[in-house]
Each structure stands twice: as structure tokens, then as C-alpha cells.
């Protein structure tokens, strides 16, 4: 059961603290795919992946370390936050079901509440009530407003005490699909075009449900960018977002000069794109050689009749 986990820490200025957190997270079977930080946001993002139980243990250890070293009373950054460890989303990889990630979120949340005495709020797919699905809503009032929010009727956390931890605040633990950061560049310097395209594709203004979009000026290149987040790529795919953006841009005479996937992308999303544009309706992940090789099931032998005639050594 492969999962990704992207814990966010409220620390973006002390590299030695981040290094300690990274070391705490090191565990056999867990790949630390990245750790980035930003001093303005005063925030760091770690990307972990591996078997669910191992990833849970790894992020638990990182949480303990972060709680010991970060005091939110002295934390001022531009990014909203409720805790020293602010959010911990679990994300299914491959065939892992969302329900498994919800289970991991609950299990970790319970442990944090019980053993660290920190209130835990479950969010998105792991949320215990509709009002906590949206992370922005969970974080409203931030660290400074936590005491009041936790003490109101219905404000009790899912795990842990009903009062904020004095230095670590609270933690939002959740489960969600992988997020794809996808940018489309247009051959116009007119910011109004980017603005209109972003508005047309983003779900909140009537566009595609799984798309968040912002217009961006890309300074020097005489191009504008539509910066998108695809929050549910299995239902709203990269091609769906690109083709809608392309079509809208054409209304204003603008063409797509290029696109970029920022950071990691699930293989399934790349296969979706290949299936869509190649019209290869039946292309499956099982046909990808490197993946077949990863899949240990195949080493036990495959029944006769497996590979294609074309792999015969024809002339």
C-alpha cells in the first residue's frame, strides 16, 4: 500500500531545525523525495513516500522533532498556520484506496492527540464532519485564534485536548488525492487574457470542478501564464484542463507556447495524457515496462500467451 505524505512545518528560516526534522524522518523503506522551505512563508514542505505504515512512523518521528523545536508564539510568516506541524495530508499512490489513507490519518491523529497532547483536526477526505473538509476553514483564525475556536460548541478536535498546545498549537491531519501543479504559457503579454482563461477554467467560477487557477505575469518573456492546481486528476485530467485553457485562449487569439508540470506527478496522470492524445483507449499501466518490472507479482511467472507476436525477432 504505497502512499505519499506531505507534512508542512511552520519553519522556513532555520536550516538546522529542518535538517533535524529531516533526519528524524529517515527510516528504511521511506523515500524522502524532497524538503523545500521558504523564509517569507516561514514554512517547509517535506515529501515522503513508501509503504503506509512506514511513512506513518516516519512522519510521526518528524512531528515529534518539530514539536520539540518550533514555538509558534514566536512565528510570523505570510502563510496561514495553526500549528508547529501545520498540516499532514496522506495521498494514495498507485492502486492504494483513499480509505487506506483515511485510516492512516486517523491512526496518526490519535497518536498525536494522545502522546503529544496536541489537538488534531481531521480534514478533507478524512474529515469527521462537512465543515472540516476544507482546510482553509479548519485554519481560520490561525494559531492565535485556536483557543476560542476549539472551545466553542462543536469546536472540539477529533483527537487530543480541547485546548491548544502552548507552543505547537494544533495539527490538521487529512487524506486527499495527489495535487498536480500545472502551468500553461500563452503567447501574449496581455494579463487580461490570462485572467479570463483562469476564470473560465477554474471550478469556483463555473469551470472545471477539479481545477484551481490563477493568472500570472511571467515578467521577462512577454508571456502570461495560467497557473493551475489540479486537485482531483482522476476526474479532471491534465488534458481536460489544457484543452479548455487552449480553447479559451484562442478566443483572444492567443496560443499555448508550452506548459509545465511543477514538481511530482503521478504516473497515472501521464498515462491519462498519453491515452487521451494518442487515442490509445486501452493503454494500461501494466504495459509500461519499467512498471511491470517493479511489480513483483510478475516475477512469479506469467502464463503462456503473454507478450505480443511483435516482440518476436522479425526481420
The residues assigned a catalytic role are 79
- Closest to a copy of itself by CB, 45 vs 116, is 45
Cell of 254: 492567443
- CA 86, CA 175: separation in Å to the nearest integer? 14
DSSP 165: B
2 or 156: whose CB is closer to a copy of itself?
A: 2
CB of 32 to a copy of itself, least distance (A): 6
Work out how close the CB of 151 gets to a copy of itself at its nearest, in angstroms, rounded to a whole number: 24
Say if strands 120-124 and 171-175 run parallel, antiparallel, or are unpaired. Answer: parallel
Residue 95: burial class (beta carbons within 10 Å; 0-12, 13-18, 19+): exposed
The three three-digit cell numbers of residue 278, written as one number: 494518442
Report the residue number, 192 or 280, with the smaller CB distance to a copy of itself: 280
- Residue 131 or 162: the one with the smaller Cβ distance to a copy of itself is 131
> How far apart are alpha carbons 9 and 140 in whole angstroms?
17
> What is d(CA 314, CA 70) in angstroms, rounded to the nearest whole number?
65
Cell of 55: 511513512
- Least separation, in Å, of the C-beta of 21 and a copy of itself? 11
Locate cell 483536526: which residue?
A: 121
d(CA 117, CA 130) in angstroms, rounded, equals 25
Q: Are 2 and 104 in contact (CB under 8 A)?
A: no
Min CB(227)–a copy of itself separation in Å: 8
Tell me how far, at minimum, the Cβ of 250 lies from a copy of itself, in Å: 14
Name the strand (E) or helix (H) holding 172. strand 171-175
Of residues 153 and 313, the one with the C-beta less far from a copy of itself: 313
Crossing angle (nearest 10°) for helices 191-201 and 238-251: 130
Amino acid at each position: 500500500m504505497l502512499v505519499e505524505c506531505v507534512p508542512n512545518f511552520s519553519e522556513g528560516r532555520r536550516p538546522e531545525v529542518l535538517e533535524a526534522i529531516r533526519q528524524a524522518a529517515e527510516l528504511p523503506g521511506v523515500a524522502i523525495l524532497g524538503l523545500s522551505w521558504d523564509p517569507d512563508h516561514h514554512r517547509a514542505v517535506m515529501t515522503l513516500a513508501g509503504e503506509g505504515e512506514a511513512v506513518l512512523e516516519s512522519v510521526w518521528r518528524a512531528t515529534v522533532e518539530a514539536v520539540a523545536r518550533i514555538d509558534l508564539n514566536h512565528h510570523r510568516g505570510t502563510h496561514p498556520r495553526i500549528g508547529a506541524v501545520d498540516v499532514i495530508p496522506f495521498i494514495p499512490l498507485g492502486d492504494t484506496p483513499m480509505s487506506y489513507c483515511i485510516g492512516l490519518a486517523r491512526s496518526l491523529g490519535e497518536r498525536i492527540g494522545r502522546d503529544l497532547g496536541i489537538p488534531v483536526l481531521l480534514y478533507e477526505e478524512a474529515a469527521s464532519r462537512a465543515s472540516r473538509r476544507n482546510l482553509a476553514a479548519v485554519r481560520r483564525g490561525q494559531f492565535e485564534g485556536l483557543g476560542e475556536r476549539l472551545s466553542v460548541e462543536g469546536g472540539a478536535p477529533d483527537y487530543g485536548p480541547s485546548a491548544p498546545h502552548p507552543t505547537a498549537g494544533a495539527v490538521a491531519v487529512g487524506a486527499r488525492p495527489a495535487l498536480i501543479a500545472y502551468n500553461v504559457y500563452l503567447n501574449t503579454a496581455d494579463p487580461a487574457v490570462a485572467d479570463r482563461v483562469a476564470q473560465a477554467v477554474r471550478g469556483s467560477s463555473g469551470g472545471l470542478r477539479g481545477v484551481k487557477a490563477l493568472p500570472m505575469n511571467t515578467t521577462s518573456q512577454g508571456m502570461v501564464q495560467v497557473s493551475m492546481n489540479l486537485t482531483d486528476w482522476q476526474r479532471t485530467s491534465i488534458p481536460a484542463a489544457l484543452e479548455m485553457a487552449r480553447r479559451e485562449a484562442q478566443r483572444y487569439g492567443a496560443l499555448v507556447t508550452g506548459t509545465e508540470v511543477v514538481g511530482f506527478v503521478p504516473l497515472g496522470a501521464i498515462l491519462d495524457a498519453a491515452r487521451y492524445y494518442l487515442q490509445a483507449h486501452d493503454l494500461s499501466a501494466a504495459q509500461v515496462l519499467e512498471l511491470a518490472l517493479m511489480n513483483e507479482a510478475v516475477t512469479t511467472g506469467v502464463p503462456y500467451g503473454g507478450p505480443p507476436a511483435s516482440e518476436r525477432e522479425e526481420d
